[in-house]
């Protein structure tokens, strides 16, 4: 993936929209301090990974548009609150866009470790201790995955060693181990059965169906009772209204006019009649309240029954959920059972072939040890890394020759298989630590470039991700600058190269370099051949 151009807006010192166009091979970016060289590089990092290593860079309106080969464009912007990124292919949101970017450029950590050459990181590998170098090598080559594999294989190897020792001791010990293995298998099988038996899923689902139906029946009864109660309350409303009317009338009826003399006389007869009727009404209302209370008690009972049913239903659902959660356990146990069964079969097969001949037993032990050795850290992982050690050494020595250095390097694995030393041919002491400062800088650079080639081969970084030399020319003499530019042009046949320098070097003949000069107020690109 080649970088074609970068447009920055409101990013660090690049306030107005400014467009930088890169060459297909080597691009040299030069200019004094403070003109925006580092800002341009950080703009590239922000556009690709949304990350600026040195300082806060985004402000409201910040934007970086990075155009790449194959019509791939990254448009990253910041509105003051949130950051967005678009690759112009309908990627389906920021996350999908980031995944597409990572597929083309890799992760920032992998790229920074192998393709971003600065004064700070160029010696990270070489100047580290033997353990740090080994860790760096594992990360570059993707060998970190072997650590978990090594751990698992070590556990298996321990079990194999114990088994082999038992075979060497006596055949009966192997028979005993087979018996224990069978018992273990049976335990696992019973455990799997208990998981199902404890829950009895068919019965649980039947109970759930029954309880659900019972709950629906109770709810229906309760709803019917509530409707009946509502109708009953409507029916007794006339009684309640008559009761209120009689009480009001009783209070009003005290006296009336005599038809003969016209005087007021007590109306005891009418009052007695009202009281009698009121008494009848009160009895009817009392009976109605008793009926209503019966309705309410039954509704309350049904509500309580429904709540109990809901709790039972909830418990069953939780149990079924737990059963579903344990499906993974069952699968793991099934796999373990199969492995255990295979162990039993293998042991029985060996046992059938064993005789009282101790030589046969010894042969079986030797096979077990060979398997254990192959799975140990000194086995397959070391062989995997050695092939890349040779490749890294070849690349590093190729680059050293290209820089005109007579020295050669070799990466040597320590006896513990966890450390890495750098041997240097061409100096008396033959160790990196005893090389001169200039020799160490060349070794640092060439080993870092070699790591990048190895990382590309193994796939930890893309094969065509761009390489950046930040201020790599500034500490070199004219001959060193010329050698490094020739080297960059060689690398540019495989991946794009960006050189950043304070100085304005003379470009050697025979090289084609896209040269971007930055001044205090402007930048001017030119190409030198």
Q: Compute the mean pLDDT over every residue in the chain, rounded to the nearest whole number.
A: 76
Rounded to an integer, what distance in angstroms lies between the CA atom of residue 240 and that of residue 247?
A: 11
> How many residues are there in the chain?
529
Rounded to an integer, what distance in angstroms lies between the CA atom of residue 11 and that of residue 21?
A: 17
Nearby residues of 74 by Cβ (< 8 Å), 6 or more positions away: 47, 48, 64, 65, 66, 68, 85, 86, 87, 97, 101
Report field, pTM of the whole predicted structure over 0.75: no
Closest CA to 373 of 166, 156, 169: 156
Mapped onto helix, strand or coil, the DSSP state of residue 491 is helix
145-169 vs 358-375: helix crossing angle, rounded to 10:
170
> Which of 39-43, 233-237, 269-273, 321-325 is most confident?
39-43
- CATH architecture under which domain 199-324 falls: Orthogonal Bundle (1.10)
Choice between 484 and 385, residue whose per-residue pLDDT is larger: 484
Nearby residues of 451 by Cβ (< 8 Å), 6 or more positions away: 113, 114, 125, 136, 137, 140, 392
Class of domain 1-106+462-529: alpha beta
pLDDT at 526: 46
Nearby residues of 27 by Cβ (< 8 Å), 6 or more positions away: 496, 497, 498, 499, 513, 514, 515, 516
Q: Check if the beta carbon of residue 35 is closer than 8 Å to that of residue 517.
A: no
Q: Can you tell me the mean pLDDT for 248-257?
A: 63
Choice between 171 and 244, residue whose per-residue pLDDT is larger: 244
Q: Check if the beta carbon of residue 208 is closer than 8 Å to that of residue 321.
A: no
CB atoms within 10 A of CB 275: 12
pLDDT at 418: 72
Is the predicted pLDDT of residue 529 greater than 50, yes or no? no
Rounded to an integer, what distance in angstroms lies between the CA atom of residue 166 and that of residue 217?
A: 67
pLDDT at 381: 65
- CA–chain centroid gap for 298, Å, is 56
For the beta sheet containing 18-21, the strands, ordered from the edge strand earlier in sequence to the opposite edge, are: 18-21, 3-9, 62-68, 72-78, 83-86
Is the predicted pLDDT of residue 396 greater than 80, yes or no? yes
- Listed in order, strand segments (DSSP E) in 429-519 are 467-470, 497-501, 513-518
Q: Where are the domains of the chain?
A: 1-106+462-529, 128-143+377-460, 152-194+329-374, 199-324
> Which of 155-159, 303-307, 386-390 is most confident?
303-307
Half-sphere exposure of 216 (CA within 13 A, CB side): 6
Choice between 40 and 239, residue whose per-residue pLDDT is larger: 40
pLDDT at 67: 92
CB atoms within 10 A of CB 191: 14
Is the predicted pLDDT of residue 345 greater than 80, yes or no? no
Q: What percent of the chain has pLDDT over 70?
A: 71
Choice between 352 and 274, residue whose per-residue pLDDT is larger: 274
Burial 97-110 (b: 16+ CB within 10 A, else e): bbebbeebbbebeb
pLDDT digits (tens, 9 = 90+) for 257-267: 556 665 555 55
How far are the Cα atoms of 51, 65, 159 from residue 84, in angstroms, in the given order? Answer: 13, 12, 53
Q: Can you tell me the mean pLDDT for 515-525?
A: 64
> Which own/partner contact pairs does 330-335 have at CB distance under 8 Å and 24+ positions apart?
330/192, 330/195, 333/188, 333/191, 333/192, 334/192
pLDDT digits (tens, 9 = 90+) for 419-440: 778 888 888 778 888 888 878 8
How far are the Cα atoms of 49, 58, 305, 342 from residue 85, in angstroms, in the given order? Answer: 10, 14, 58, 52
């Amino acid at each position: 993936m080649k970088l074609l151009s970068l447009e920055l807006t409101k990013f660090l010192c690049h306030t107005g929209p400014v467009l930088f166009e890169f060459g297909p091979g080597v691009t040299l970016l030069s200019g004094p301090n403070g003109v925006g060289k580092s800002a341009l590089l950080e703009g590239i990092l922000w556009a690709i990974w949304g990350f600026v290593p040195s300082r806060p860079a985004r402000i409201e309106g910040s934007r970086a548009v990075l155009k790449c080969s194959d019509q791939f464009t990254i448009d990253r912007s910041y509105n003051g609150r949130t950051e967005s990124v678009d690759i112009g292919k309908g990627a389906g949101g920021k996350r999908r866009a980031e995944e597409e970017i990572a597929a083309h450029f890799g992760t920032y950590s992998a790229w920074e470790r192998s393709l971003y050459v600065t004064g700070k990181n160029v010696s990270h590998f070489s100047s580290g201790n033997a353990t740090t170098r080994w860790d760096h090598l594992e990360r570059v080559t993707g060998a970190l995955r072997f650590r978990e594999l090594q751990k698992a294989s070590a556990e298996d190897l321990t079990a194999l060693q114990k088994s082999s020792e038992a075979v060497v001791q006596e055949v009966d010990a192997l028979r005993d181990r087979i018996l224990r293995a069978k018992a273990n298998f049976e335990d696992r099988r019973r455990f799997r059965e208990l998981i199902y038996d404890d829950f009895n899923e068919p019965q649980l689902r039947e109970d759930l169906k029954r309880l659900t139906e019972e709950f629906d029946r109770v709810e229906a009864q309760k709803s019917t009772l509530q409707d009946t109660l509502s109708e009953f309350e409507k029916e007794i409303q006339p009684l309640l209204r008559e009761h209120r009317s009689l009480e009001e009338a009783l209070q009003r009826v005290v006296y009336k006019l005599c038809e003969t003399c016209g005087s007021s006389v007590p109306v005891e007869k009418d009052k007695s009649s009202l009281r009698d009727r009121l008494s009848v009404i009160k009895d009817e209302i009392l009976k109605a309240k008793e009926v209503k209370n019966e309705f309410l008690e039954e509704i309350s009972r049904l509500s309580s029954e429904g709540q109990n049913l809901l709790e039972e239903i909830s418990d069953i659902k939780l149990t079924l959920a737990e059963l579903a959660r344990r499906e993974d356990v069952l699968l793991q146990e099934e796999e373990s059972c199969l492995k255990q069964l295979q162990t039993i079969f293998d042991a029985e097969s060996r046992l059938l072939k064993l005789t009282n001949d101790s030589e046969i037993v010894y042969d079986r032990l030797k096979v077990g040890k060979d398997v254990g050795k192959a799975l140990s850290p000194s086995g397959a992982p070391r062989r995997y890394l050695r092939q890349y050690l040779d490749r890294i050494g070849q690349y590093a020595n190729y680059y050293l020759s290209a820089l005109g250095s007579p020295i050669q390097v070799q990466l040597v694995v320590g006896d513990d298989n966890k450390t890495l030393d750098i041997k240097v041919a061409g100096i008396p002491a033959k160790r990196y630590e005893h090389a001169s400062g200039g020799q160490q800088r060349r070794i640092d650079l060439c080993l870092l470039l070699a790591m990048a080639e190895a990382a590309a081969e193994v796939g930890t970084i893309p094969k065509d991700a761009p390489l950046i030399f930040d201020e790599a020319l500034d500490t070199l003499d004219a001959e060193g600058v010329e050698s490094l530019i020739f080297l960059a042009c060689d690398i540019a046949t495989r991946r794009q190269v960006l050189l950043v320098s304070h100085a304005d070097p003379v470009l050697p003949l025979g090289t084609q370099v896209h040269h971007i000069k930055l001044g205090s107020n402007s930048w001017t690109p030119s190409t030198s051949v």
